[in-house]
Amino acid sequence: MEQHFGLMNASRNDLDAWWMPFTANRAAKRDPRLIASAEGMTYCTPDGRRLLDGISGLWCCNAGHNRAPIVAAIQDQAARLDYAPPFQFGHEGAFALASRIAALAPGDLDHVFFCNSGSESVDTALKIALAYRHARGEGGRTRLIGRERGYHGTGFGGISVGGLPANRKAFGHGLSGIDHLPHTYDREQQAFSIGEPEWGAHLADDLERIVALNDASTIGAVIVEPMAGSTGVLAPPKGYLQRLRALCDRHGILLIFDEVITGFGRLGFAFAAERYGVVPDMICFAKGVTSGAVPLGGVIVREAIHAALMQGPERAIELFHGYTYSGHPLACAAGLATLDLYRDEGLFERARTLEPVFAEAVMSLREEPNVLDIRTIGLAAGIDLAPSADAPGARGYDAMVHAFNVNDLVIRISGDTLSLCPALIVSEDQIGELVEKTRAMIRAVA
């Protein structure tokens, strides 16, 4: 194990100290999967193996790894301005990046609040929703609606509206006044869907039941991922998001899209909102905004919400919220360089062009052993494997380990569901390589 660290000359204790997030720590430290460097679609291990990155880092390195213009922008920024306080002061990069992001967002989503992660973006959006209600004299509209199987990060706000039981059950009651829409997946109706499933738009109507039960006057906002990513890639049924928007409008409920995964090209557009022609009231983003190079998140807010909060004496703070590192100079420099790359290389359009190629390639796995379902949308795919008897999650875990150790491939698992989400720079050959490595891995854990 020590040899993995080579120059660091680390002892076993060095593995003990880092409590790894969302990781089977004891197993991982017995057989660590270490990554030393990266370039484009490839990772390199400390012992020189080259691995195909099948998941864009963690759904974030959408422009590929270690892209020269992003690296240069970070280096240059670090040498000029390491930090500037965002409370009462500012720097050029944050204003410039906010303007660029607002320009990419649809409709009058014109104002950007920066934070550092997807989890913080969700907390921020929920807090803005509540502050907006308060400012309008609707302080009773505090109820927040999420969705089963939703993932909105790990803050208390995010796990409260989130709908993944494992992320909630050990952590108490979370926020009060939360309700959940049903998830949108039904294997009998939707198995092996390419793109948006035909079945399921009516599931949005469940919002009517929640409204009838609680009254609209108690409901502040609904938050959903346009495509539920972390749970295993559930595309929205055709018409679902449009229906949700109409119902929210009917009852005066704010609609928040958590686009932490779908933002910045994953579905072939800057935002899923554009793909579906649905303008939410707020968009949460993170990950792809800097292609994963520096942590950055944020919320894009519609004009009317922002305007409602720009009230009171001019020298008084309008929103008591923010982070020391909101709009950090390095993150903003990385973000600006990343948006340039997306534009100059046409990467969102590229993802759109590759979508059918990717879907067809991944669907070729449907006859492989234990494959129960495959779903694809944009450059994302979820593959459900049959759980091993009495050991749910074990086959998925073994697949991920085998992929890394034997197939030279990095994938993501959620229980026995595998996710693939290559960077938008992926070539058709690399899509083929990704699928063949995945095939070998699935056979190995049969």
Ligand X SMILES: Cc1ncc(COP(=O)(O)O)c(C=O)c1O
Q: Which one, 63 or 161, has the nearer CB to ligand X?
A: 161
- The residue range among 28-36, 145-153, 335-343, 344-352 that interacts with ligand X, by the rule CB under 6 A, is 145-153
- The residue range among 130-138, 184-192, 224-232, 369-377 that interacts with ligand X, by the rule CB under 6 A, is 224-232
Q: Is 258 in the site for ligand X (CB under 6 A)?
A: yes
- The residue range among 254-262, 348-356, 358-366, 417-425 that interacts with ligand X, by the rule CB under 6 A, is 254-262
Q: Is 230 in the site for ligand X (CB under 6 A)?
A: yes
Q: Is 278 in the site for ligand X (CB under 6 A)?
A: no
55, 129, 235, 261: which one binds ligand X (CB under 6 A): 261
Q: Is 260 in the site for ligand X (CB under 6 A)?
A: yes
- The residue range among 151-159, 165-173, 274-282, 398-406 that interacts with ligand X, by the rule CB under 6 A, is 151-159
Instruction: Kindly identify the residues of this chain, within the stretch 100-129, that bind ligand X according to CB under 6 A.
Output: 117-119, 122
What CA–CA distances, in Å, run from 418 to 127, 135, 342?
33, 44, 27
Q: Which one, 230 or 407, has the nearer CB to ligand X?
A: 230
Q: Is 353 exposed, middle or buried (0-12, 13-18, 19+ CB in 10 A)?
A: exposed
d(CA 330, CA 77): 6
Quote the least distance from Cβ 27 to ligand X, whole Å: 22
Q: What phi and psi values does residue 9 have, to the nearest 5 degrees?
A: 50, 45
Q: Which one, 197 or 297, has the nearer CB to ligand X?
A: 297
Instruction: Kindly identify the residues of this chain, within the stretch 157-186, that bind ligand X according to CB under 6 A.
Output: none
Quote the least distance from Cβ 380 to ligand X, whole Å: 11
Q: What phi and psi values does residue 74 have, to the nearest 5 degrees?
A: -65, -45
Binding-site residue total for ligand X (CB under 6 A)? 15
Quote the least distance from Cβ 108 to ligand X, whole Å: 23
d(CA 326, CA 269): 25
Binding map of ligand X across residues 203-222, x = CB under 6 A, - = no contact: --------------------
Q: Which one, 119 or 190, has the nearer CB to ligand X?
A: 119
Quote the least distance from Cβ 443 to ligand X, whole Å: 29
151, 271, 323, 325: which one binds ligand X (CB under 6 A): 151
Q: Residue 197: CA atoms inside 13 Å, Cβ hemisphere, count?
A: 24
Quote the least distance from Cβ 22 to ligand X, whole Å: 9
β-pairing, 143-147 with 178-181?
A: parallel
Q: Which one, 223 or 426, has the nearer CB to ligand X?
A: 223
57, 229, 268, 292: which one binds ligand X (CB under 6 A): 229
Cβ atoms of 259 and 283 closer than 8 Å: yes
Instruction: Kindly identify the residues of this chain, within the stretch 20-59, that bind ligand X according to CB under 6 A.
Output: 59
Q: Which one, 119 or 160, has the nearer CB to ligand X?
A: 119
130, 135, 194, 286: which one binds ligand X (CB under 6 A): 286
Q: HEC string of the chain? A: CHHHHHHHCCCHHHHHHCCCCCCCHHHHHHCCCCCCEEEECEEECCCCCEEEECCHHHHCCCCCECCHHHHHHHHHHHHHCCCCCCCCCCCHHHHHHHHHHHHHCCCCEEEEEEECCHHHHHHHHHHHHHHHHHHCCCCCCCEEEEECCCCCCCCHHHHHHCCCHHHHCCCCCCCCCEEEECCCCCHHHHCCCECCCCCCHHHHHHHHHHHHHHCHHHEEEEEECCCECCCCCECCCCCHHHHHHHHHHHHCCEEEEECCCCCCCCCCCCCHHHHHCCCCCEEEECHHHHCCCCCCEEEEEEHHHHHHHCCCCCCCCCCCCCCCCCCCHHHHHHHHHHHHHHHHCCHHHHHHHHHHHHHHHHHCCCCCCCEEEEEEECCEEEEEECCECCECCHHHHHHHHHHHHCCCEECEEECCEEEECCCCCCCHHHHHHHHHHHHHHHHHCC
**Residue among 28, 17, 4 at smallest CA distance from 413:** 28
- The residue range among 181-189, 258-266, 308-316, 364-372 that interacts with ligand X, by the rule CB under 6 A, is 258-266
Quote the least distance from Cβ 365 to ligand X, whole Å: 23
- The residue range among 49-57, 64-72, 150-158, 322-330 that interacts with ligand X, by the rule CB under 6 A, is 150-158
Quote the least distance from Cβ 320 to ligand X, whole Å: 22
- The residue range among 149-157, 172-180, 199-207, 215-223 that interacts with ligand X, by the rule CB under 6 A, is 149-157
Q: Is 225 in the site for ligand X (CB under 6 A)?
A: yes
Residue nearest to ligand X (CB): 118
Q: Is 147 in the site for ligand X (CB under 6 A)?
A: no
Quote the least distance from Cβ 60 to ligand X, whole Å: 8
Binding site for ligand X (CB under 6 A): 59, 117-119, 122, 151-153, 225, 229-230, 258, 260-261, 286
